[in-house]
Structure 1
Amino acid sequence: MMQFHLPRFFISAILYLATCFGAVWLINPQSLVNFVGPSAALVSGLLLIWGITPLIAVLLVTPILAFGLNYYLHFDANIAVMSIALLAIILQGFWTKQLVFRFVHYKKWLISRKHLFFFLLRIGPIASLVSASAVLVISMLDNQVMQGTFFYTFINTWSASMLVAVFFIPLLLLAKNAEQLKLTKRLFVSFTSVLGCLAILLLLKTSQYEQQSYREALFKQSKVDIERLILAEVTGVVNQINSLSAFFKASDYVSLSEFNLFSESIFNQNSSVRALEWAPIVALNQREKFEQKSSVMLQQDFQIRERLANGKVALAQPRSQYAPLYYIYPQQGNQAALGLDVYSNPLHVLSMQKVIDSEQVIASAPISLVQDEQARPGMLFSNAIFSLSEDNKAAKLTGQNKLSIIKADKLLGFVVAVVQFDDFFHQLARKREQEVSFFIQDVSSHQTFTLFGQTLPTANRYTEIINMEVFSRHWQINIAEKQPWFSQAKSWQAWAVLIAGTFGALLFQMLVLMMAAYSSELGQQVDIKTRALILAKESSDKKSLAKSNFLQTLNQELRLPLLAMKACVEQLKKKGINNKQVTGISHAGSNVALLLDTMMDLSDIESGKIIAKADCFDFYGFLQRTESVFKASNAYEGKSIFFLIDDSVPHYINSDELYIQKLLHAIVDSAHKLLKSDDLRLSIKLHKHKLADASLFFTITSQNAAMVNVSEQVFAQQNHDELSANSTTMAMAVKYSHLLGGDTTLAALSSGAGVLSASIRVIISSIEQQEAQQGLTFDIID
């Protein structure tokens, strides 16, 4: 048994893996949820035809699928997500089987358009709700978000599952139940379905490409804007520092009021600078004098201090020179920094020697600054200020080495700016609130420092990393979409293509299968009609056989009394008794015998025992003989009939001469009774059909000047059955005309005169047949 199911197991496993990876690859953007809908539809179809084997294959192969998604596509296919996906696939498969079990088991899903409609409705729109609902939970787990709407994800999964189901399951059932349609129809349905599937796939793929291109363009634009704005803000800060540095270089002495006035103009530019500071160079021998002068000018106790290794601030130890913070704007809130020697800054934060050696502004490592009772990250931007001697100015004009010139210059001090980008980053984040999020770190050393934000989720989002050099510091900016793709607002074009494409594909497949169902429906109706006709024919044959048996029995039963009566009449005649009564008995017996012969004739015609011949004979000679018989017959005493032969009637025809003669006798007898006239005219005409095939028409009308009108009630109700019931001879005429391939009708002219006509099918004799018949006639005469 396992050997029998082993091929099904491998086929199911391969189709399952191919569908999962194919759906993830084809549906943009690539996501862990993309495979659930199509794979659920696939397993539903396999479950319908192969039973439990596909489910075993899915259970065993799912770990391989999870490993492949993790290893090759870097999806977080964890146990929770894969368990929910697997349960959704199995549940949809079993639900689909329960919904359409009767359609498949009794093979009636394609027998009519009504059954097909409800079959597609159950395997597609209804069953696909399972995987679409499960994907909502998977999306929340995969994207690690609970807020936002996932309605587009629901509709997208529902659409994918439904389309795979309505295209794949019918083709699978047609391949298994080949007896439902012929090979040509199955090939037509399969080829048309594949073309339709490819067309809708191309349409949806194009729409997805346009959506993702537009989405990517918006993200890249946001990334460029963020990078540009951050660089602009940093450049603005440095420009302010350079302005202040130029101010100190241009003046021999800058007073506190001048410094405050210049700094105020810089602060009005709404930058990220929290404070501007000036730290002049003070030699050891001038320390005491500088402290006394500064205390008087600043109107507070001013002493040069330094930051110890433990972070505390104490009086500066003796050394060759100091760079204490002398001017601070704004001074309010920053008094604690007055007198702090910038040379005492930790080297990992800001090396003042590096500032001296550099010609540009140097940024420090991020530090925590207390502002508004909150600790926020900040940075120190510092620039060394030199004064050029007269010799150095001349050397610059002659183009000497720049490094030698700088070393010869006198260091005046340092311009320091305390910068906090926190407000700027928050403001920038609010501008991009609906688009992107960003996370900024200083990664200049092995120990990173967060400047703004927090680690960003990257599942189903566009992400980008920007590496930026900020004046000796290295910043890393991580940018990601604010919302994952599945919860982002979609344009009306995206919704229109998804909904229109889904229902258009469903309608297309339904119409293709409807044609096949209509063909099956017609075939079924033909079978029903055929069976009904066969049963009717069998019933008619039984009735005809019973009638024939009855007539044969009746004929045999009546023949014996007639023979006895005839023998008795002959005995009476031999004895010389031949009076009127004996003659009447003889005539009555002859009429009864003729009636029995007629009944047997009619019975044999109905049962098909008599078949008309197609012999060549002289039709004109036949008509002459028949007319002579009519005129010489005793039954026609006081009556007359005139034969009128049209020129189109050939001399020789192929037909049954005997039954034509019986037909003419029957219609002439009937015409006397129905037309109520003793003077009749028989017109004979021919109508050619094709080649030698033709029809002969015998039309009988009254020759009286005053035409005899047929009763309207009689004419309106005339048909073959009524004529047969009213006249035995008319019934004979009808049967003889049918036997000869024609018909008999009673009609009326516009003048009201009655017309009785009969038609038969004949073949015009060829020249060879006429010559052969003439030769036989001459031989008989000789």
Structure 2
Amino acid sequence: MHNKTPLYLLVFISYIFVGIISNSFLVIGDYPASIWPPAGIALGAIFLLGLRVIPLIFVAAFITNFVHFDSTTLYLSFDDVFKTALIAFGVSAQAILGYWLINRINASAIALLNLKSSLQLMLIGGPLSCIVGAAIGTLTLFSFDVINANLVLTTFVNWWAGDAMGVMIFTPLLLVAFLPEQGSRRLQVLLPGLLVYTVISLLFYFQLENIKAKTRQDIETKSQILQLSVQQQIQKIKSNIGLLEAYYESSDYVNYLEFMNFTDKQLHFSQEIAAIEWIPKVNLAERSKRENELHQIGFQEFSFKEHDGQGNLVNAATRDVYFPVLFVNPVQGNEAALGFDLASNSTRAAALNLAARTKKPVLTQPLNLVQQQDSSLSVLYIVPIFTGQPKVTLKGYVLGVLHLPKLVDTILAPLELSGFNIRLLDVADNLAAKVLYQDEHYRSTEPVFHFKIPFGQRVWAVNLYQAEGQGLQESWLNQYMVQLVGLLFVWLLITFLLLLTGTNLQISDQVYKQTEKLRLEKQKSDKANKIKSEFLANMSHEIRTPINGIKGLHYLVLQQTDMRKVKEYIHQAENAVDVLLKVLNDILDFSKIEAGKLQLEYSEVYFTALFSQLETLVRTELNNKDITLLIHYPKISPLSMFTDKIRLKQVLLNLLNNAIKFTEPDGKIELTMVQLDNKQLRFSVKDNGIGIADLAQKQLFDAFTQADNSTSRKYGGTGLGLSICKHLVELMGGKIGFVSELNVGSEFYFTLPQGEFSTDEAPKTQHEFNIDEVSLGQFRILVAEDNPLNQKVISAILINKGCTPDIAENGLEALEMLAQRKYDLVLMDIQMPLLDGLATTEQIRLNPQFKNLPVIGLSANAMDSDVVNALAVGMNDYVVKPLDPNKLFKAILKYV
């Protein structure tokens, strides 16, 4: 089994490596690149390694996203781990869905051999299946507040497009790289595809880095401007309040009107200051006096106030010292602050004490003002006022009210900071930072810029954030579309290369298959031609040998005067003729079989008679080699079967002759017939002869072949016998086979359907035809034959039985002789000049006078079609040359 561990490892490492590299295309958190290659790697890996690779993909996806979250957040919580696992689950589910859909619609699509299969793989595995991963990933980010509702659709579309493009480009590349039987196609698709993808990705990356650099420069510039603006505004606040400080320190007393006139100018030029207040130090003895002063200038309900336990303003309790808000500008909107004793509030009191102790301005913590109606925060900039030199006696405080939202608006008004959010923090205390101000769209991320600035013995931190969904969106979108167009070009290039190389691969495969087929056909043809050439050479030998014997014996007969010797030579010549006829009959039978024109004639075959005839036919050969023949068959039932008697005898005789031929003298042959359980009869011929080598057994039933070339030389034969036997057995509905061991012997067997059978004894064999008893002297016979030798032979055969025939050399002469004399029978040769036998017979049948005249055809043409044609024109019978006197006399005596 091929070890796939390296491929598993390669998939795992590639997914993580490519995933981390792809994450570098994130601009500033929100905007991914337009392709996510790991999605294509995941789907391709399942096709290459099966569903067993899913756990590996899950782990790789988890690690890739885990590393990404770790790089964009300050710490990892359980939520981070859980959301990473959910995203990895979406990746795995998406790959499984694509694998299942493609296998269900067209499993062969992964071969990428044509445009249809390539598009099915890319579009089903890409845009369709990638909906799952994008949906799960987007919902996960939304559920864990990583993105808000405004970004759900954008995130889903970006995620889906990136995964889909990753599948459409990288899954085909992965399959081409690792599927078997891709050949040179790997380089033809991989090199151009990866090269163009790499170039486009690098161009996008460098352009993206350029945008990031410009973005960083823009942020840095705006941050510096922001820092300068904050510093200027704080300095402006200090200066304006400092002017009021100097005014009070240089004056023995400042009345209400003087305060209002002086601060009107300050408020006009310092809109960041919401209000300016004068907070004198008032002893208990001076309380009534101060309250009366305010009453006299129109504030009839003025009194020193403080908050009770429920936060309501009430008259201030009696104490030694008060720090009330005596004057405030503007009055409108700040009425509730008039008379409020700052010392009654612990936070304000602490700030007052710090300012008095350090003799420096102090900024309070963020507060909700007494006069403020909403929940927005403000801070108080408190400056202590002393009398005398050095500053030893606390006179009171001048105070600037800084409404934080208004202060930030004043700072940002001249700046172009669209796409950014501001967050203002008080970080002076050792405790957690206090939020002074933050934009309503603020989200918890790393600031793109931050700085600290001291103010009133406290420290403010200013953080600048990239606004979600804003900022670089336009630049990113332009680059995204550029990369998307480039990736579509890569996809079209890969699709074209797949189509081109797939077509070439199919053509090459077809050419290879056709070439291989032609090569095999040529081998088969060459082998057949060789076999046929060897067969023809063998036939030449098989035919010439008996002919040579006949000629030699003919010569000896002519030279011999001893009749005993003459008869012996003639008998030997007759055996040679039988051998020659056997060769010719094999050839004719094989021709009939190949032409599909061999017809069976079914009849009841009795086994006793069949086996007796077979033994008689081979007895001479058995005696010549002292071979014992044992015949075994049921003597009770069945006694017969229904089949073609002649063909059954032909098969058995062929097998017996082969057994005799290949069995050494004093050997043994067994002929056996048994009845099987499935109404089949099994015939077998077993010998203890030379056997058959293993290599020769496979082709033994092929036409024109024998066990080896030397066999035909030593034992003779056409090489057609067993092939004919096989076809005959199959034609009769049976099967033939054999078992053999070299130098031990062979057993040939075949089965045939039993058919109808009888349990009765076989009928008595009719008396065989005796040629010696035939007499034809009383019959007048016309012989139509053009060959002089055949004329003499036929005439001699008939004269020997008392009949002197008339001879016609062609059909026309035969018709003339029939018109002149009356004949009892016509022996008609088929092939004659002027008018052949078939045409002559047709003419005879046209004459009513010869309606019942027997016509027997004589021809060397032995095909079934020849017999059919002869009978069709009106012949009564057909005898095949060379003539067998017995068969000829039987045919004649049937009609005369």
TM-score by length of 2: 0.50
**Contact 2:19 2:38 (C-alpha < 8 Å) held by counterparts:** yes
**Contact 1:438 1:456 (C-alpha < 8 Å) held by counterparts:** no
**Contact 1:153 1:486 (C-alpha < 8 Å) held by counterparts:** no
Q: SS where residue 424 of structure 2 aligns? A: strand
1:365 deviates by: 2.0
Q: Which residues of 2 match residues 71-110 of structure 1 at below 5 A?
A: 74=73, 77-80=80-83, 82-96=85-99, 98-99=101-102, 105=108, 108-110=111-113
1:450 and 2:435 correspond? yes
Q: What residue is the counterpart of 1:689 in the other structure?
A: none
Query: Which of 139, 142, 158 in structure 2 is aligned with 1:140?
Result: 142
Q: What residue is the counterpart of 1:415 in the other structure?
A: 398
Q: Distance in 2 between matches of 1:530 and 1:455?
A: 77
Q: What residue is the counterpart of 1:493 in the other structure?
A: 478
**Contact 2:368 2:378 (C-alpha < 8 Å) held by counterparts:** yes
Q: What residue is the counterpart of 2:195 in the other structure?
A: 195
The farther-off stretch of 22-31 and 233-242 is: 22-31
TM-score by length of 1: 0.56
Structure index of larger Rg: 2
1:32 deviates by: 12
Q: What residue is the counterpart of 2:39 in the other structure?
A: 40
1:18 deviates by: 3.6
Q: Which residues of 2 match residues 500-649 of structure 1 at below 5 A?
A: 500-524=485-509, 526-527=511-512, 530=515
Q: Distance in 1 between matches of 2:356 and 2:449?
A: 36
Instruction: Report the AA paired with residue 242 of structure 1.
Output: G
1:146 deviates by: 0.7
**Contact 1:48 1:97 (C-alpha < 8 Å) held by counterparts:** no
Q: Distance in 1 between matches of 2:135 and 2:451?
A: 38
Q: What residue is the counterpart of 1:384 in the other structure?
A: 384
Q: Distance in 2 between matches of 1:36 and 1:502?
A: 8
Q: What residue is the counterpart of 1:367 in the other structure?
A: 367
Q: SS where residue 451 of structure 1 aligns? A: strand
The 3 A distance-change label for structure 1 pair 376 and 419 is: same
Q: Distance in 2 between matches of 1:449 and 1:435?
A: 24
Q: Distance in 1 between matches of 2:293 and 2:123?
A: 94
Cα deviations across residues 697-721 of structure 1 (Å, max 9, x unaligned)?
Answer: xxxxxxxxxxxxxxxxxxxxxxxxx
Q: What residue is the counterpart of 1:243 in the other structure?
A: 243
Q: What residue is the counterpart of 1:272 in the other structure?
A: 272
What is the total number of aligned residue pairs between the two structures? 528
Q: Distance in 2 between matches of 1:440 and 1:9?
A: 52
The 3 A distance-change label for structure 1 pair 318 and 65 is: closer
Instruction: Report the AA paired with residue 483 of structure 2.
Output: L
Query: Which of 183, 195, 212 in structure 2 is aligned with 1:181?
Result: 183
Q: Distance in 1 between matches of 2:334 and 2:474?
A: 48
The 3 A distance-change label for structure 1 pair 216 and 525 is: same
1:9 deviates by: 5.2
Q: Which residues of 2 match residues 664-683 of structure 1 at below 5 A?
A: none
Query: Which of 408, 414, 423 in structure 2 is aligned with 1:439?
Result: 423
Instruction: Report the AA paired with residue 424 of structure 2.
Output: I
Q: Which has the higher helix share?
A: 1
Q: SS where residue 254 of structure 1 aligns? A: coil
The 3 A distance-change label for structure 1 pair 212 and 298 is: same
Q: What residue is the counterpart of 2:831 in the other structure?
A: none
Q: Distance in 1 between matches of 2:39 and 2:402?
A: 57
Q: Distance in 1 between matches of 2:353 and 2:270?
A: 31
Q: Distance in 1 between matches of 2:340 and 2:525?
A: 126
**Contact 2:32 2:158 (C-alpha < 8 Å) held by counterparts:** no
Q: SS where residue 366 of structure 1 aligns? A: coil
List runs of 5+ in structure 1 lacking aligned partners.
Answer: 393-404, 553-782
Q: What residue is the counterpart of 2:612 in the other structure?
A: none
The 3 A distance-change label for structure 1 pair 462 and 261 is: closer
Instruction: Report the AA paired with residue 146 of structure 1.
Output: A
Cα deviations across residues 512-562 of structure 1 (Å, max 9, x unaligned)?
Answer: 4455335324424644775797799899999999xx9xxx9xxxxxxxxxx
Q: SS where residue 369 of structure 1 aligns? A: coil
List runs of 5+ in structure 2 lacking aligned partners.
Answer: 538-896
**Contact 1:384 1:414 (C-alpha < 8 Å) held by counterparts:** yes
The 3 A distance-change label for structure 1 pair 44 and 51 is: same
The 3 A distance-change label for structure 1 pair 367 and 129 is: closer
Q: Distance in 2 between matches of 1:204 and 1:131?
A: 25
Q: Which residues of 2 match residues 648-659 of structure 1 at below 5 A?
A: none
Q: Whose RCO is larger (CA < 8 A, sep 6+)?
A: 1
**Contact 1:369 1:375 (C-alpha < 8 Å) held by counterparts:** no
1:54 deviates by: 0.7
Instruction: Report the AA paired with residue 261 of structure 1.
Output: N
Q: Distance in 2 between matches of 1:345 and 1:385?
A: 20
Instruction: Report the AA paired with residue 374 of structure 2.
Output: Q
Instruction: Report the AA paired with residue 480 of structure 2.
Output: W
1:406 and 2:398 correspond? no
Q: Distance in 1 between matches of 2:318 and 2:503?
A: 104
Q: Which residues of 2 match residues 294-373 of structure 1 at below 5 A?
A: 295-298=295-298, 300=300, 314-315=315-316, 317=318, 319=320, 323-346=323-346, 350-358=350-358, 360-371=360-371, 373=373
**Contact 1:219 1:435 (C-alpha < 8 Å) held by counterparts:** no
1:203 deviates by: 2.1
**Contact 2:368 2:377 (C-alpha < 8 Å) held by counterparts:** yes
Q: What residue is the counterpart of 2:697 in the other structure?
A: none
Q: Distance in 2 between matches of 1:283 and 1:83?
A: 69
Q: Distance in 2 between matches of 1:356 and 1:239?
A: 19
Q: What residue is the counterpart of 1:204 in the other structure?
A: 204
Instruction: Report the AA paired with residue 439 of structure 1.
Output: R
The 3 A distance-change label for structure 1 pair 79 and 291 is: closer
1:368 deviates by: 0.9
**Contact 2:94 2:129 (C-alpha < 8 Å) held by counterparts:** no
Q: SS where residue 374 of structure 1 aligns? A: coil
Cα deviations across residues 14-46 of structure 1 (Å, max 9, x unaligned)?
Answer: 444444444334544467988994333212111
Alignment RMSD (CA, Å):
4.8
Cα deviations across residues 406-449 of structure 1 (Å, max 9, x unaligned)?
Answer: 34xx5443212222123344677898785122333333332654
Q: What residue is the counterpart of 1:49 in the other structure?
A: 48
Q: Distance in 1 between matches of 2:29 and 2:326?
A: 60
Q: Distance in 2 between matches of 1:62 and 1:496?
A: 26
1:291 deviates by: 5.1
The 3 A distance-change label for structure 1 pair 347 and 427 is: closer
Q: Distance in 1 between matches of 2:500 and 2:255?
A: 98
The 3 A distance-change label for structure 1 pair 257 and 487 is: closer
The 3 A distance-change label for structure 1 pair 9 and 127 is: same
**Contact 1:12 1:54 (C-alpha < 8 Å) held by counterparts:** no
Q: Distance in 2 between matches of 1:306 and 1:486?
A: 48
**Contact 2:383 2:399 (C-alpha < 8 Å) held by counterparts:** yes
Q: Distance in 2 between matches of 1:247 and 1:124?
A: 77
Q: Distance in 1 between matches of 2:411 and 2:151?
A: 23
The 3 A distance-change label for structure 1 pair 516 and 539 is: same
Q: Distance in 2 between matches of 1:196 and 1:148?
A: 32
Instruction: Report the AA paired with residue 260 of structure 2.
Output: N
Instruction: Report the AA paired with residue 52 of structure 2.
Output: T
1:259 deviates by: 1.6
**Contact 1:37 1:132 (C-alpha < 8 Å) held by counterparts:** no
**Contact 1:429 1:437 (C-alpha < 8 Å) held by counterparts:** no
Q: Distance in 1 between matches of 2:197 and 2:299?
A: 87
Q: Distance in 2 between matches of 1:299 and 1:435?
A: 48
The 3 A distance-change label for structure 1 pair 148 and 46 is: closer
**Contact 1:275 1:329 (C-alpha < 8 Å) held by counterparts:** yes
Q: What residue is the counterpart of 2:157 in the other structure?
A: 154
